[in-house]
Chain A
Amino acid sequence: GAVVSQHPSRVICKSGTSVKIECRSLDFQATTMFWYRQFPKQSLMLMATSNEGSKATYEQGVEKDKFLINHASLTLSTLTVTSAHPEDSSFYICSASEVGGTSYNEQFFGPGTRLTVL
């Protein structure tokens, strides 16, 4: 089946530093990747949608300059949290949609990255 990986699975950083999270589709090509954020005991909130080779589309209220998304290839998207602060601590999840697959563009999810900003 379609597998999506995320790296790192956990990261702890100091306030003011930047953190990059990678999302990879391991056995398929993804035209579109999605980035979600999940707070404890809350649902997944879509942050942005990224299409390979073009700029990401951010949801209302998500700061583009704070959460930089790059989707440079059909198998890799990155989310960079710039100048991270404690309020950015959260669980970040990516998903990917397959190009021309038989799964009717189903989203396949990564296992998530736990970010803690001290």
Chain B
Amino acid sequence: GNSVTQMEGPVTLSEEAFLTINCTYTATGYPSLFWYVQYPGEGLQLLLKATKADDKGSNKGFEATYRKETTSFHLEKGSVQVSDSAVYFCALSDDAGGTSYGKLTFGQGTILTVHP
């Protein structure tokens, strides 16, 4: 079956530091890949997505590239801010076309704390 493995947290960084959160997956076929973010007290929000190999998703300074050869979708940001403190979830959907209408398989989540 499908599975997603995320880098264990928590991750603590100073403001303006570089961020990497690793994510690898196991899936049959050609899944779509997602990063979701959950701010304190709020629901999960889609941060970015990629639907095929070598696609790069980007949003709010975050980027992740769909690497089929290494089955990875690592999240990166060049300079984090205090407001980026949240829980980040990597996820995959085995629906074609990048929709998340179908089932999502989540990683365990990584808590990020950014200090001023």
- Asked whether, in the complex, the Cβ of B43 is within 8 Å of the Cβ of A110, the reply is yes
B66 at interface (Cβ–Cβ under 8 A)? no
Bound-state CA distance A112–B46 (Å) is 16
CB distance from B88 to the nearest CB of A (A): 12
Chain B interface residue number, banded: 20 to 34
Residue count of chain A within 8 Å CB distance of chain B: 22
Bound-state CA distance A71–B9 (Å) is 36
- Asked whether, in the complex, the Cβ of A107 is within 8 Å of the Cβ of B101, the reply is yes
Which single member of B4, B97, B103 contacts A46 (CB below 8 Å)? B103
Bound-state CA distance A90–B44 (Å) is 17
A95-118 to B contact mask, C-beta < 8 Å, 1/0 = 101000000111111111000000
Which single member of B41, B43, B108 contacts A108 (CB below 8 Å)? B43
Which single member of A4, A32, A46, A111 contacts B101 (CB below 8 Å)? A32
Given contacts A42-B108, A43-B109, contact A97 B45 (CB under 8 A): no
Chain A contacts to B: CB under 8 angstroms = 4, 32, 34, 41-46, 49, 93, 95, 97, 104-112
- Asked whether, in the complex, the Cβ of A43 is within 8 Å of the Cβ of B107, the reply is yes
Query: Which of chain B's residues 34-68 have a Cβ closer than 8 Å to chain A?
Result: 36, 38, 41-46
> B-side binding surface: helix, strand, loop or mixed?
mixed
Bound-state CA distance A93–B97 (Å) is 25
Q: Which one of A34, A42, A106 has the greatest number of beta carbons of chain B within 10 Å?
A: A106
Given contacts A106-B46, A108-B43, contact A43 B103 (CB under 8 A): no
Given contacts A44-B106, A46-B103, A46-B104, contact A104 B97 (CB under 8 A): yes
- B42 CB contacts on chain A under 8 angstroms: 111
CB distance from A59 to the nearest CB of B (A): 8
CB distance from A60 to the nearest CB of B (A): 10
CB distance from B28 to the nearest CB of A (A): 17
- Asked whether, in the complex, the Cβ of B108 is within 8 Å of the Cβ of A41, the reply is yes
